[in-house]
Chain A
């Protein structure tokens, strides 16, 4: 019997598991190659970033191959592999493509800004790749163990990257804060996982809802039942771990400090990629708990609770950004606020998924996850664009305060226009991509509001927060476009390549809003991915 199991496992792995895991394997291989190169001093002949770029491109190619397979097959599939540890569907593939693309863009940015130098490059890229693998694992996790592993795998290299500017005290301090805070959150999460897995007797995320029904013994699962109560506590503790990764209030304290201490490139990477992976994981976790009538009431309350956290997070992030003078710190608060917007989509999904009208709402539920994915895709370009501009300006002025941006339009219009496009998109001004992303999320919150009134409050809070956010974003633009350049600030002459890089990002942000084919194509793929992640319910 054991050998049969083993045989099945081998067949499974060699049959398709390795192909599904190829992107992660490429990244792992690249890490090994980079470290070996340093050992053999090859990195003096061949710059490390080239190897890194090749590795990232290979991972992207594999991901895209899987993506093309799925699209070409035209059928929606969702299979677990590696003994049920990971899950392959359009959702996880979407994240692989997304993360590989982002990895390539980040490497390109680091090459342009010159952080890290050639000496440190293998270390830095190894950390970057390791974190990316962790994020990919998060998006395809099918087991509570993989959930924890993914989060940790993404977190640990991030700690190092935040402290990568070894000479700077602020950087080391930020890294330390991040580590300790992360360790605390991880401990809480691990405790939650053990509670959930212990009571329910499985680690398989897709089985959680079913087991919960059994535990509740046919009745309506409520907190009155001690076992259900235990599971609820466990779920909440897991949520704390995820909330740390998503920097949701009140688990956001690390975020401004870490972003301020880290270099802008790392901050950009963390704000987008780590958030994307965590959202993928959150969606999988929430879907795994949903779809069973007995737990519906509890899960709806959970969804509304997420909505409330989303409101608090968005409002806090936006208001706290007002008084910031350091741009990275300001964008850290902006990141917190955006996490709140995206959490609204998850809340809407939970409310709709667990209502008694769920079978009729299939499209709307897909749409809510699709909206989240679209938001992430647009967020990639607009946030990376903003951080890239900060990094490029920093290289000349050695300063990341808003004051150093004053009157920049007279010296490098390309950077200013990019910043303008990115910020308009971050605010959600049509016709840039951010507007449509926000619109999709608000639309699904509105759909959910038809089911639970509380979502109307969420919608209103989201709308009001959009206005709040206007003020501090526009302050940056005002400094860049309207104010005089102070005489003592160093000039920013922009070399061509860096200009092209940011302009490409800005163009993408604009195209994601202007170009109907792109908007429709991406949102329909996002919706399909949303559909794919839901296949585990009742299947």
Chain B
């Protein structure tokens, strides 16, 4: 059973970080010298490193089992070149099973709803697993060096101030950092392995909480704890949509599973992906009369309800599902309009920014959009495309004026995520995910480089204070240059192109093909093209600003130094991957692996699908414009880089003068398009008002009612006491005193009262008798 074997290896890779987390958080706390020991770090590195080996092994097993059929496609020529070739690809996949799914553990059964932990393993899962574990391993190693100043009993946080103006002194939290990192790895891998959308949601939230913990790692800094809150709350907004999507999904499909559960070649439990059937043109199958979408079985036959009618879902609700899930992706991947949390998230330690906020967690939104692609209809895709398009432009313009080295990278991340979303939205599924992988490598590389610079400059992050660091820290500088070239998408002879060249090309080509088919949406091509230039500009600006020119702050420059090997070796490894991981472009192994389990309606034999006035280009159409698009993108990138060189690499132009002349625009961009202020005015202030009102209402109305109730209760019980004391006791006492003379000898034991009691028996009987005769039926 290949599926079982794969599950076994991936489970190890998935659960080891969890074990690591448990050991680190408890051992770290209880060990004799927790503040000085690197044991937690090596434990974390060991777990994730072994995880990488397991993932790689799983990839090998998977490939051997299907005889690397997805790679063979390349040997028959370019994929998508001809229909015949695509047909061959189809049969290849049919001969070899490439996707495996099944149940790991049943969490609970609620009526017909089974909440399970499933696995869904296909080429995308395996590539993601390998990528995440590899990058995470590099970053963990890097962090050993970067976080080493936490190895102390008394860490002085210069950015956090106590109320009397001094710096915060606290014990180092080295072990805790690695524990959180391990927990994050567990959550992220669980998200990738997830075989149903609900499980995705579980781990979605778990990565969210890890992100919260890591952003707020320097919790004494107000900026950090604010940023952590902001990230968490912004994500909740997206998750609200996610939940709505889940509810609609459950109501109409009755399952959360992606793939079919197959036992002995029989489908025992149908998954979502096979329930929406695509016809020959790639459109979803719909009822001819009502226009509702039909829900089908694995073979495309319409499923029926118990009363014999067809099972179907209104088309608009399918759109709602798509938009809801995408809303989750918008939050997680910091897309417009929820993009504002990611730059603030840079308050966390730099390795966190590299792992969580560039390479993996934020890319999870894109991953989910890709994973859930079979359920998206054209309207949703168009929304995705425009969201991506707006985001990528917006973020890139802000990155042009940012001066904090990590903020530049953060905006660049948002912009690149926008590219990926755009790619997926314009039917360039493979292009978007391709860019996800390449971006993960070069962006984590650049973040680590920036971390190395920050470490070398003693926690200075402002670029205007740097400059001329090239020969002070050569390894960092040159690996950073690789990253910059990669993200700019530079071309080199002999096929040694940077990885970004291939992946960005693929996206731009998809966009170009899309506007050929839909001329009305021409912005979807022009803006990414323009932004490709802007990307090169701000990236080279950052590099020139940091590494060349005259030192702007002599003090910083004098103390700068190259980082130790434990930090530079990961840089070199990542640099190699950033450069070469996409080797071969769209005939290269990475791309073919990714597209091995592409949703079927994307495959080359579907050339166009028409619905709602939107045409979606197939592989052939995209391939036809590939070279054109590549040329345009390269020209844009080169001009961007050139402008950056002129402005910041030489002293020909006075940058300050330009900044002054364009003051309005600069201010607008430097204030991040005023999004934070807008949200503050739109949501925060009203929320505060409403909260104040609620507090007032609570105090003035609810409390008053409650107090009134309590008071009236006291009054009632007082009255009852009065009744008891005056009426009952008084009556008793009255008769007691009346019979006093009779029972004088027994007065000691209060016979007066006792007689009273006996009297009550008589009175009670008589009263009951009277009541019975007046009320009972005659």
Contact residues of A between 359 and 414, Cβ < 8 Å to B: none
A319 interfacial contact with B, CB 8 Å: yes
Pick the contact of A319: B717, B757, B767 (CB < 8 A).
B717
Q: How far is the CB of A482 from chain B (nearest CB, A)?
A: 17
Q: Which residue of B lies closest to A239 (CB)?
A: B768
Pick the contact of A240: B717, B753, B764, B771 (CB < 8 A).
B764
Total interface residues on A, CB under 8 Å, equals 35
Contact residues of A between 227 and 269, Cβ < 8 Å to B: 229, 232-233, 236-237, 239-240, 244, 250-251, 253-254
Q: How far is the CB of A185 from chain B (nearest CB, A)?
A: 6
Whether B777 contacts A298 by the Cβ 8 Å rule is: yes
B769 interfacial contact with A, CB 8 Å: yes
A170 to B768 Cα, complex, angstroms: 32
Contacts of B654 in A (CB 8 A): none
Contact residues of B between 752 and 771, Cβ < 8 Å to A: 753-754, 756-758, 760-761, 763-765, 767-769, 771
A297 to B775 Cα, complex, angstroms: 12
A184 to B776 Cα, complex, angstroms: 26
A276 to B736 Cα, complex, angstroms: 34
Contacts of A254 in B (CB 8 A): 757
Q: How far is the CB of B108 from chain A (nearest CB, A)?
A: 15
Q: How far is the CB of B778 from chain A (nearest CB, A)?
A: 4
Contacts of A223 in B (CB 8 A): 772-773, 776-778
Q: How far is the CB of B643 from chain A (nearest CB, A)?
A: 69
B263 interfacial contact with A, CB 8 Å: no
Contact residues of B between 736 and 763, Cβ < 8 Å to A: 749-750, 753-754, 756-758, 760-761, 763
A244 to B765 Cα, complex, angstroms: 12
B4 interfacial contact with A, CB 8 Å: no
Q: How far is the CB of A272 from chain B (nearest CB, A)?
A: 23
Contacts of A68 in B (CB 8 A): none
Whether B765 contacts A240 by the Cβ 8 Å rule is: yes
Q: How far is the CB of B43 from chain A (nearest CB, A)?
A: 38
A81 interfacial contact with B, CB 8 Å: no
- Among the listed stretches A53-61, A171-179, A440-448, A513-521, which one makes contact with chain B, having 4 or more residues with CB under 8 Å of it? A171-179
Pick the contact of B761: A188, A302, A305, A319 (CB < 8 A).
A188
A82 interfacial contact with B, CB 8 Å: no
Whether B772 contacts A180 by the Cβ 8 Å rule is: no
Whether A240 contacts B776 by the Cβ 8 Å rule is: no
Q: Which residue of B lies closest to A220 (CB)?
A: B777
Whether B778 contacts A184 by the Cβ 8 Å rule is: no
Q: Which residue of B lies closest to A179 (CB)?
A: B754
Given contacts A236-B768, A240-B764, A253-B760, contact A222 B754 (CB under 8 A): no
Whether A322 contacts B764 by the Cβ 8 Å rule is: no
Pick the contact of B765: A188, A301, A319 (CB < 8 A).
A188
Given contacts A320-B720, A322-B717, contact A236 B769 (CB under 8 A): yes
Q: Which of A188, A254, A322 has the most CB of B within 10 A?
A: A322
Pick the contact of A301: B721, B753, B760, B775 (CB < 8 A).
B775
Whether A185 contacts B761 by the Cβ 8 Å rule is: yes
Pick the contact of B764: A172, A173, A222, A250 (CB < 8 A).
A250
A254 to B754 Cα, complex, angstroms: 9
B713 interfacial contact with A, CB 8 Å: yes
Contacts of A237 in B (CB 8 A): 765
Contacts of A250 in B (CB 8 A): 760, 763-764, 767
B724 interfacial contact with A, CB 8 Å: yes
Given contacts A236-B769, A301-B777, contact A177 B760 (CB under 8 A): no
Q: How far is the CB of B745 from chain A (nearest CB, A)?
A: 14
Contacts of B773 in A (CB 8 A): 223, 229
Q: How far is the CB of B323 from chain A (nearest CB, A)?
A: 40
Q: How far is the CB of B749 from chain A (nearest CB, A)?
A: 5
Instruction: Bits for B514-539, please: 1 = Cβ < 8 Å to A, else 0.
Output: 00000000000000000000000000
Total interface residues on B, CB under 8 Å, equals 28
A222 to B776 Cα, complex, angstroms: 8
Whether A251 contacts B776 by the Cβ 8 Å rule is: no
Pick the contact of A180: B716, B757, B767, B769 (CB < 8 A).
B757
Contacts of B767 in A (CB 8 A): 250
Given contacts A173-B750, A181-B758, A236-B772, contact A224 B764 (CB under 8 A): no
A185 to B762 Cα, complex, angstroms: 9
Pick the contact of A181: B717, B754, B768 (CB < 8 A).
B754
Whether A224 contacts B778 by the Cβ 8 Å rule is: yes
Pick the contact of A172: B749, B753, B775 (CB < 8 A).
B749
Q: How far is the CB of A357 from chain B (nearest CB, A)?
A: 19
Q: How far is the CB of A437 from chain B (nearest CB, A)?
A: 25
Whether A323 contacts B721 by the Cβ 8 Å rule is: yes
Whether B769 contacts A233 by the Cβ 8 Å rule is: yes
A210 to B767 Cα, complex, angstroms: 29
Q: How far is the CB of A226 from chain B (nearest CB, A)?
A: 12
Q: How far is the CB of B721 from chain A (nearest CB, A)?
A: 5
Q: How far is the CB of A28 from chain B (nearest CB, A)?
A: 32
Contacts of B724 in A (CB 8 A): 320, 323
Contacts of B717 in A (CB 8 A): 319, 322-323, 471
Contacts of A239 in B (CB 8 A): 768
Given contacts A222-B777, A301-B775, contact A319 B749 (CB under 8 A): no
Q: How far is the CB of A384 from chain B (nearest CB, A)?
A: 27
Whether A232 contacts B721 by the Cβ 8 Å rule is: no
Whether A305 contacts B772 by the Cβ 8 Å rule is: yes
Contacts of B713 in A (CB 8 A): 471
Contacts of A323 in B (CB 8 A): 717, 720-721, 724
A323 to B773 Cα, complex, angstroms: 36
Contacts of A253 in B (CB 8 A): 756-757, 760
Whether A322 contacts B720 by the Cβ 8 Å rule is: yes
Given contacts A173-B750, A240-B765, A320-B724, contact A180 B758 (CB under 8 A): yes
A188 to B762 Cα, complex, angstroms: 9
Contacts of B758 in A (CB 8 A): 180-181, 184
Contacts of B720 in A (CB 8 A): 319-320, 322-323
A169 to B749 Cα, complex, angstroms: 8
A253 to B767 Cα, complex, angstroms: 16
Q: Which residue of A lies closest to B709 (CB)?
A: A467
Instruction: Bits for A101-114, please: 1 = Cβ < 8 Å to B, else 0.
Output: 00000000000000
Q: Which residue of B lies closest to A173 (CB)?
A: B749
Whether B776 contacts A322 by the Cβ 8 Å rule is: no
A224 to B776 Cα, complex, angstroms: 10
Q: How far is the CB of B768 from chain A (nearest CB, A)?
A: 6
Whether A251 contacts B749 by the Cβ 8 Å rule is: no
A155 to B758 Cα, complex, angstroms: 17
Contact residues of A between 287 and 338, Cβ < 8 Å to B: 297-298, 301-302, 305, 319-320, 322-323
Whether A180 contacts B777 by the Cβ 8 Å rule is: no
A254 to B778 Cα, complex, angstroms: 34
Contacts of B776 in A (CB 8 A): 222-223, 232, 298, 301-302, 305
A223 to B760 Cα, complex, angstroms: 25
Contacts of B749 in A (CB 8 A): 169, 172-173, 176
Q: Which residue of B lies closest to A305 (CB)?
A: B772
Whether B757 contacts A297 by the Cβ 8 Å rule is: no
Contacts of A173 in B (CB 8 A): 749-750
Contacts of A471 in B (CB 8 A): 713, 717
Q: How far is the CB of A158 from chain B (nearest CB, A)?
A: 16
Instruction: Bits for B702-741, please: 1 = Cβ < 8 Å to A, else 0.
Output: 0000000000010011001100100000000000000000
A236 to B766 Cα, complex, angstroms: 10
A229 to B777 Cα, complex, angstroms: 11
A239 to B763 Cα, complex, angstroms: 15
Contacts of A305 in B (CB 8 A): 771-772, 775-776
Contacts of A232 in B (CB 8 A): 772, 776
16 A–B contacts, CB within 8 A, in A order: A176-B749, A181-B757, A181-B758, A184-B758, A185-B761, A223-B773, A223-B778, A236-B768, A236-B769, A239-B768, A250-B760, A250-B763, A301-B775, A322-B720, A323-B721, A323-B724
Given contacts A250-B763, A302-B776, 7 further A-B contacts (CB under 8 A): A188-B765, A250-B760, A297-B777, A301-B775, A319-B720, A323-B724, A471-B717
The 6 closest A-B pairs by CB, nearest first: A250-B764, A322-B717, A253-B757, A224-B778, A319-B720, A323-B721
